[in-house]
Every structure is written in structure tokens, then in C-alpha cells.
Amino acid sequence: LKISSAGVRLIKPTYVMTCLDMPLTQAVCPKTLVQQDPGLHARLLSLIDSGFQFVFREEHNQVEIGRHPACQIVATDARVSRRHLRIFRDGALRYFAQGLSDNGVFINNNFMKKGDTRTLKHGDTVSLCVPAHAVDDVPFAAFIFLIVHGEPGRREADCHSDESESTTASESTGALKSDEWVRDNWDIRTKIGSGSFSEVFLGVRVRGAADGRERHAVKVVDKGKFQKFRNKRESNLALSDEAELLGSLRHHGVVHVSEWFETTAHLYLVMEYVPGGDLLRCISEAGAFLEEQGRRAFRQLCEAVGYLHARGIVHRDLKPDNILLTSRDRESMHLKIADFGLARKNLQSSDCRTFCGTPHYFAPEVIHTFRNGRGQDGGYGKQADMWSLGVCLYIILSGVPPFHEDGLYEQILEGRYEFDDVEWESVSPAAKSCVRSLMTVKPEMRARIDQVDKHPWLAAHRELERHSSASSVSTVEWSDAKRHRSV
């Protein structure tokens, strides 16, 4: 096998690689594989090239990966040492990884330096030099390690899950599954995020997969923690709300959920994997967007929010860390809204009365609702999302938040934010006007999603793209002075 920056490809001699007789998408059940091939012990499945797997057979007591032609797996990237990584097993069929290079190896995103030895477990990711799901670099030799035979602690009974339990999205979605079913059908190992009552893992389907070994983001919700959250917030959120909501959405600006299922203790959301990280990290590491880049990104957000609002959905927790990126290239990235754990569907004009979201992005009416009590008149609706969009735009263009920690709620209630920081010196008046139209204290004076789409800062650029005349577009009158007085 040779691995290069262009991907993974198989070369002769054939003894380097042994292919299974069954398709890669067929059920991966330890007992079945042992019956078909008792010499088969474990496999390395490439996360780069879906056509590659390296099979650890009885004769493979150890395997080396490196640039040297004598290695069983040869990686040609210049960062790879002659002998970079050694994988070996002991008499109890336990597998270990030993680092042989100063450039290191990542096991589940944990760096392993030269001389370190670590146990390899079923479902671990192994990647040379860069993490398997790196966003700032491109992984070139990344694998998932699967133990087929002899793994301590894996029960043979795991194979006896009900054969009627299909792994297709249409048949598994919403169904109650056993923990054994989850282990048989999914490799969920590397954690890539966490929240109050859930964790997000990199997941690979290993049974009945129509998508080969495509990576997914699998959100695992702890039912017990969710119930405590629900009781604390006096919330009426049902545990399946987010699953059903996301599963019904089809928009390029919204993270897609292909299926969901649950066990007695957890709910699993199988989502598309968005490799570019989140918007908050992007801004924290690389600073504010150039205005044209920011306008492009913000238009994408507005399109997605428009889609949600047209379906009566209020997100209620719009913020940069809930906005995922397809890449880190600001000229080509696409933004996708995620994390609908606080969303509400089929709302009336002002139907949200629970104190949900993240304080820096709270709209003034959200704070009023909390202070007045859940049973009071008022509440909040779609316009709360518009305020949060304004805060997001402020941060996109400046790289700094509009409010300070001290007296946060009072600043929000009074609309006390400024454009006098040095970060705003190069931002156009039209862009600032767009921010003001959204960060207006009174929700009835705040721009709606259909209005912000017609704001000159966005509309003029869209008209140029479409080569349409300015007179054909109906606009809303915008007055910075009026907006400022309303605050």
C-alpha cells in the first residue's frame, strides 16, 4: 500500500493487502467474520479512500507504517519518517501503537510522541502527523481501527441482535435500539464537541451502510441530563423534538440529520459531518472577516434563517459556535446552522416564554420575559432570532462582541453598543446600518428576515450578481437616525 497527499492507492505486491470476500458495506459482526475467516484479527479502514482496508491476519504480529519501502504500509508524504508508526499485538490479542517519529501520531486526536506506546481499541482513529479530522490541515493517512476477533470485553452475544433491525435510515429512524445494536452498527469513538446534556462524536457506520465509510457527526444526548435541564428551565421540550425537527429540514444552510434512534439511556442524532469547525473558532483564530467575505457569509445565514422562519421555526440559540463551516477558506466556505436543541416549531407571533439560549446573544424581549415570569403577556418570537443575527454580524465584521460582561443585561436592554473601536474603522456605513437594523431594542422596529434581505448592504450586492436593475427591487426605508432613536 502507498499513501500520498492525493489519497490512498493499492500497489503490488499483493501480500501487503488482503481483501475480505464480503463487500465493505456488509454487516461487520465478529462471530460471522471469524466463521468465514478464522485467521482474520483486525482491520485498518482508511478515512481518506473508501476503497482501502488493511487486514491484520494471524501472521501480522506487527505492522510498520512509514516511508521506507520495507514497511507494510508506505506513506510518501514528506512529513512521514522512514519508520513512523508500529502497530503490534501481544499473546492475548491486545493491540498497541508505538510512535517511532518526532512528527508524531494522533490517536483519537491525542498526540503520541516518539517512544510512546498506547493501547489500540476498537473504533480508535489513527492518523499520521495531523489529526484525522483536522480543519487547519489535510489528513493524508488517517484510519479507523476495527478489532474483528479476540477483543477483550466484546461479547460474542453482540452478534445476536435482532436480524429484523435494519440499519437503513428509513427503518431505524425514531426506533428504540439496544446498546448492542449501536455497537454492531456504528463506530462512535472520537469526541469532537460537547454541550450541557450531549456530546458529539465522529461516527462511521460499519453495518448495512449505503454510504460506505462516510464520516458522520453523531450527537449523543444523555436522557437523564436532558430531563434535569428540562426540569430546571421549566421547559416543555420533548426529547425527540430536536430529532424530529432536524429530520424534517432540507436546506443547504442547515445541518442535515439523516436518521435518529434511541436506547433506554441515550438519543442518537446522525448528522452530516461539517469539517471546517465553527464560526466562533474561525474568528477567534483568524480575526474578523473582510467586509465582502462577511457579507457573503451573512447572506448565507439569512437564507437559512429565512427558511426556518417560513416554516414557523425559531432557533432561539443563534450564535457563532452554533454555525458550522464546510471549510476554513473564507472565499469558498459555506455556513450551516446547527444545534436546534432549544428550537420551537409552529409558533404564534410571540409564543416563547422559556429563558433559553446564550446570554450574550439574548434579545431584550427574552430578558424581559424572564424577569416578568413565564406566565406574563409578551413572550418572544422570530424577532429574537433577528437580534441574535445582528450580534453575529457585529462579531463577523469586527471580531469582538458588542457587549461587556459587567452589566450585560442592562447593556442589552438599553441597546448600548458602539462602532467606535478600531476594528470598525474599515467597515462601511451601510454595513453598520445593517447591524443597527437588527440590534434594535423594540422587536416591532427590528428588521424582519424578509426586510433584512432587502437592506441596501445586502440587496445592492445581490442585484449586481443577478444583473437586475435597482428599480425592480422593492426596498424598505432605512434611517440610521431613526433606528438610533428607537434604541
Strands 110-112 and 142-147, bridge-based pairing: unpaired
37, 278, 317, 339: the active-site residue: 317
Q: What is the mean pLDDT of the chain?
A: 76
Higher pLDDT, residue 350 or 434: 434
| Predicted local confidence at residue 8, as pLDDT | 39
For residue 317, indicate whether it is catalytic.
Answer: yes
Q: Which residues contact 214 (CB under 8 A, 6 or more apart)?
A: 50, 204, 205, 273
Q: At 186, which helix (H) or strand (E)?
A: strand 186-194
What residues pair up with 63 in beta bridges, in sequence order?
87
| Predicted local confidence at residue 91, as pLDDT | 78
| Predicted local confidence at residue 211, as pLDDT | 54
User: Which pLDDT band, with edges at 50, 70 and 90, does 464 fall under?
Assistant: low
Q: Which of 16-25, 235-244, 354-363 has the lowest mean pLDDT?
A: 16-25
The domain segmentation of the chain, as residue ranges, is: 2-147, 162-272, 279-486
Higher pLDDT, residue 442 or 3: 442
Is residue 23's pLDDT more than 50? no
User: What whole-number distance in Å separates Cα of residue 263 and Cα of residue 224?
Assistant: 12
The cell numbers describing 3, all together, are 499513501
CATH code of the domain occupying 162-272: 3.30.200.20
Burial 300-312 (b: 16+ CB within 10 A, else e): bbbbbbbbbbeee
**pTM (whole model) above 0.75:** no
| Predicted local confidence at residue 160, as pLDDT | 36
| Predicted local confidence at residue 224, as pLDDT | 85
| Predicted local confidence at residue 473, as pLDDT | 40
| Residue 318 and residue 392 in contact, taking contact as beta carbons nearer than 8 Å | yes
Q: Which of 114-123, 223-232, 259-268, 413-422 has the lowest mean pLDDT?
A: 223-232
Q: Give pLDDT tens digits for 129-188.
A: 988 876 667 788 888 888 875 444 343 333 333 333 434 444 456 668 899 899 888 988
User: What whole-number distance in Å separates Cα of residue 75 and Cα of residue 96?
Assistant: 20
CATH code of the domain occupying 279-486: 1.10.510.10
295 burial level (CB within 10 Å; 0-12, 13-18, 19+): buried
Q: Give pLDDT tens digits for 324-342.
A: 999 999 999 999 998 865 4
User: What whole-number distance in Å separates Cα of residue 7 and Cα of residue 4?
Assistant: 5
| Predicted local confidence at residue 235, as pLDDT | 56
DSSP line for 213-275: T-EEEEEEEEHHHHHHHHHHHT----TTHHHHHHHT---TTB--EEEEEE-SSEEEEEEE--T
User: What whole-number distance in Å separates Cα of residue 210 and Cα of residue 184?
Assistant: 16
Fold exhibited by the domain 2-147: Tumour Suppressor Smad4 (2.60.200)
| Predicted local confidence at residue 145, as pLDDT | 87
| Predicted local confidence at residue 146, as pLDDT | 83
Q: At 420, phi and psi to the nearest 5?
A: -95, 0
Q: Which of 39-48, 83-92, 251-260, 441-450 has the lowest mean pLDDT?
A: 39-48
User: What whole-number distance in Å separates Cα of residue 441 and Cα of residue 411?
Assistant: 11
